[in-house]
Amino acid sequence: MTPQQKQCSDANEPESREWQLIDTAPRNVWVEVTGDSGMRSPPHFLALAIHDANHRPLSPWRDVQRGALSDHGWVPTHWRPAGAFPNVRSESLG
């Protein structure tokens, strides 16, 4: 297990689902991020994102569609571990 995976698995403890400053976010791990949306309504954004410095070194946060968060005008300020995802594929196949 890499240190990032360990950090992410340790972060899945219920008490560590608190929002943390973005500078402490793990790299190359999907996490929830939030920040100012730049709009009046809604004033904040919430996204599932990954820090990928190889994508755009000056704008490394990518969303699930692989676009840069900065393309939306979003700059994440806080992060928390993503919750566990259900195994949708096996459930839908019955």
In the chain, where are the structural domains located? 3-83
What pLDDT sits at residue 94?
52
Residue 80 has pLDDT above 60, yes or no: yes
The contacts of residue 73 (CB under 8 Å, 6+ apart) are 37, 38
Distance (Å, whole) CA 64 – CA 67? 7
What is this structure's pTM? 0.72
Q: Tens of pLDDT along 1-47?
A: 444 444 554 544 545 789 999 999 999 999 999 999 888 888 999 99
Q: What is the mean pLDDT of residues 78-91?
A: 81
What pLDDT sits at residue 68?
92
